[in-house]
Every structure is written in structure tokens, then in C-alpha cells.
């Protein structure tokens, strides 16, 4: 039988956030492919896990992925981990996962802590729709272009930034959308966890005081839209009137949304409620 590739999420800070399933898998596999073996060895030692480690980081992905696929074909189970969070999400892992899939091997996710989801849950920005944009560009010109590209988004934007570039990044963000609501997540799940909230211009003005180590997560609220011109009762009445006239609900939702400022999805939902 061939082996299984387990893509295992590890804690993003607080070691208590590792799952029981992750611990079991890490103990049972033949080898753990880790982004930084020195970093991961500390985690494994803490939980008494002695499974052999092999390094798997950006610059060796092309070389290591085929070798790990061969081990999987030979029957070894392999766990893939990154320094924190979920492998392949702004971390090494995509090439190995792709290679395993193309080889017809079983790939299993072992979910866990995510700074994107953890931060969104407490940021206080809209969470019904969001887009993860990975790392903000390192150079100012590219950063401003990046922020300009997402400025009109109707979804919350989540992105990563290096702590040492946070101040400069906030200045560029404020230059593009000064009044946009922004949340900065620092040291999420760690002892000094902190969320800083404010308008981009105000955060940029105080950026020198926002000391940050490692990576930070930015949550950029979506572009503000005009308030709906019709109340819920008005929408219900209009939907009922159109339905009585024989119009299909999908067409009603589109028409009423255009006239009211509501989303077509929400108008449709009101239309199917009894």
C-alpha cells in the first residue's frame, strides 16, 4: 500500500492550540517534512514526539518534493508542517501537495490554528466575505499599487506584513485609502497578543509607536457603500407585490437589489422566508 501525505497545521504561537489529531499523526508518520527543523524540533520535543525530521523550505522544494513522493509510493506516511499555521498557505508545501496528487497518492488535511481566521473572528470588520492576499509587496511603489488594486474591494482584505516594514506599509496604505478602517494583529495567540484598530491615516501617523516583531496581519475593511434606500419592511412589501404579479423570485431579487441598495442574495433570502 502507498503512504498518505498529511498536511498538518501547527500552533501559530500558543502551543496549547495544537490538536489531539495533529499530535497523533505526528507521532505515527514515518517522517516529518518541516520548514525549519530547528524550530519544529522544539515543538516536537515539547510534546515528546521523536519522529525523524527532514527539512522542506522554499529553496529545496523542487528537489525534496520528488524524494518525498517516492517515500509515499514506497508506503511511508509523511507529515508536512510549517513553522506556524497551515503548510502551503503563504508557506512551503504547494509543490509537494501537487506532486502527491498527480501521483495518485492520498493527501489529508489536519486542520488547526490559523491567524487569518483567528484574527478575523475578533477584528470587528465584516467577515461574510474576505480575500486573503498573502504578503504585501516589500517595495513602496509595488505596495501602493497593491493597495490601489484592492481599494475598491467589497470584501475584507487580509494580508501579511513583516513587522520591520509595518510603519512604511501603513504610510503607503494611508496614501491610497486614508479613511479606511484597518486592524493590525500582532503576536496573535501569544502572551503579548494585541489588536490595534483605527483609520489608516491615524494608524500611519502613529506608526512609529507600533513596534512589531516577526510578521503582522492586516485586516482592511471593505470599501464603504451607501446605506440601503429601503427598509426591510419596504423590501418585503415590494417582493410580495412583484411575486403576486407573477415575476420569478431571482428576477425580483436582482431588480429590487438594484433599486434598494440591498444585495440580491439578501433580497432573495427575504423572498423565500415565510
How confident is the model over 151-198, as pLDDT tens digits?
A: 999 899 999 999 999 999 999 999 999 999 999 999 999 999 999 999
| pLDDT at site 214 | 84
Angle at 42 between CA 37 and CA 46, to 5 degrees: 140
Ranges 69-73, 97-101, 217-221, 243-247: which has the least confidence: 243-247
| pLDDT at site 274 | 59
Q: How many domains does the chain fold into?
A: 3
Residue 105 lies in a domain: yes
Closest C-alpha to 87, from 108, 59, 66: 108
Q: What is the mean predicted confidence (pLDDT) over 86-102?
A: 94
Of the chain, the percentage scoring pLDDT greater than 70 comes to 98
Q: What is the mean predicted confidence (pLDDT) over 36-54?
A: 96
pTM for the model: 0.80
Ranges 44-48, 116-120, 241-245: which has the least confidence: 241-245
Query: Is residue 241's pLDDT more than 70?
Result: yes
Q: Is 152 left (phi over 0), alpha (psi -120 to 50) or beta?
A: alpha
Give the model confidence (pLDDT) of 216-233 as tens digits: 999 999 987 666 678 898
Residue 227 lies in a domain: no
| pLDDT at site 65 | 94
- 145 is in which domain, residue-wise? 116-220
94-102 vs 61-73: helix crossing angle, rounded to 10: 40
Contacts 24+ apart (CB under 8 A), 39-45: 39/83, 40/10, 40/81, 40/83, 43/10, 43/11, 43/15, 43/18
Domain boundary at 58, 82, 113, which? 113
Query: Is residue 34's pLDDT more than 80?
Result: yes
Domain boundary at 113, 145, 178, which? 113
Amino acid at each position: 500500500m502507498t503512504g498518505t501525505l498529511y498536511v498538518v497545521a501547527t500552533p501559530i504561537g500558543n502551543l496549547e492550540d495544537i490538536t489531539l489529531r495533529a499530535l497523533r499523526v505526528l507521532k505515527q508518520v514515518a517522517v516529518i517534512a518541516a520548514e525549519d527543523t530547528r524550530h519544529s524540533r522544539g515543538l516536537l520535543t515539547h510534546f515528546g514526539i521523536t519522529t525523524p525530521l527532514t527539512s522542506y523550505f522554499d529553496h529545496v522544494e523542487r528537489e525534496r518534493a520528488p524524494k518525498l513522493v517516492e517515500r509515499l509510493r514506497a508506503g511511508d506516511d509523511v507529515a508536512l508542517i510549517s513553522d506556524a499555521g497551515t503548510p502551503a498557505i503563504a508557506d512551503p508545501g504547494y509543490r509537494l501537495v501537487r506532486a502527491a496528487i498527480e501521483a495518485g497518492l492520498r493527501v489529508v488535511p489536519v486542520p488547526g490554528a490559523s491567524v487569518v481566521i483567528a484574527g478575523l473572528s475578533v477584528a470587528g470588520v465584516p467577515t461574510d466575505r474576505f480575500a486573503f492576499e498573502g504578503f504585501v509587496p516589500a517595495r513602496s511603489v509595488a505596495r501602493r499599487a497593491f493597495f490601489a488594486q484592492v481599494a475598491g474591494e467589497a470584501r475584507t482584505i487580509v494580508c501579511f506584513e513583516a513587522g520591520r516594514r509595518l510603519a512604511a506599509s501603513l504610510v503607503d496604505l494611508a496614501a491610497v485609502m486614508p479613511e479606511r478602517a484597518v486592524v493590525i494583529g500582532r503576536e496573535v495567540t501569544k502572551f503579548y497578543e494585541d489588536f490595534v484598530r483605527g483609520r489608516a491615516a491615524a494608524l500611519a501617523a502613529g506608526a512609529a509607536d507600533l513596534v512589531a516583531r516577526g510578521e503582522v496581519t492586516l485586516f482592511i475593511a471593505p470599501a464603504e457603500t451607501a446605506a440601503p434606500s429601503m427598509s426591510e419592511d419596504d423590501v418585503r412589501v415590494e417582493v410580495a407585490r412583484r411575486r403576486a404579479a407573477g415575476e420569478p423570485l431571482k428576477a425580483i431579487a436582482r431588480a429590487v437589489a438594484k433599486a434598494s441598495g440591498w444585495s440580491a442574495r439578501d433580497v432573495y433570502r427575504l423572498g423565500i422566508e415565510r
